[in-house]
Amino acid sequence: MLYLIDTTNGKEQILEHHSTQHFTKDWLYLVTHNMVDFEDAKVVVMTYAKFGTLVEFYKSRFQKDFGDTFEFILCDEIHNLPRFSAFLHSPRDTNYHRIAKERIEEIVSKQTGPQVIGLSATPRRAETGMFCKTKYITVDSDVRKLETQNIVPYANLESLIPTLPKDKKYLVYASHITKMKQLTEIFHQRSIKAIAIWSEKN
């Protein structure tokens, strides 16, 4: 299986798992010649840009389509691929994200090669940017409520905080570190213990 991800940081985190491995030239030779035994196979992790590089290399050097020999291609944060494929630092740059995007679209459209699975919390962005058929598999809302026990939608957390019972624990998600720090300070001002946790790699 091939695991594609949009950032190098994310790739390094996934590679910490024992069932994954780095891309190597030896692996590339084996996988393109169908010589990897199932028992020995590990999930190979690479960025979309690296995948695009290999697609371009195999097309120009061997006139072959890279990627057909996999059983699955897992695309993490697939909604970012169309966005990245539009970026170019210089007109002379080769747009490897665009090459990766077009190859994945081709594989999905052929329906005879690997099964492509895209992961995204915002699938509509992927649908509008990827030019191939998509089939949604979503988490059932009842299952999500069962896991979290209670979801409280809010527009203004500051007005919600005074209504929260102090004998309970709460988990608050914020998309930016600065917002986390602001919310922690708001809780402290109301004598509610709070900590903010984030990854230094992101």
Report H helices in the chain: 8-14, 25-32, 48-62, 80-84, 96-110, 123-129, 141-148, 157-160, 177-189
Topology classification of domain 2-129? Rossmann fold (3.40.50)
pLDDT digits (tens, 9 = 90+) for 142-158: 655 555 555 556 667 77
The lowest-confidence range among 24-38, 75-89, 140-154, 181-195 is 140-154
Which residue, 110, 116, 122, is CA-closest to 135? 116
Strand partners, 74: 3, 117
Verdict on whether the full-model pTM lies above 0.85 = no
Residue range(s) occupied by CATH 3.40.50 in the chain: 2-129
* Packing angle, helices 96-110 and 48-62, rounded to 10: 80
pLDDT digits (tens, 9 = 90+) for 42-78: 688 889 999 999 999 989 988 889 888 888 999 999 9
Report the relative pairing of strands 115-118 and 2-5 from DSSP bridges: unpaired
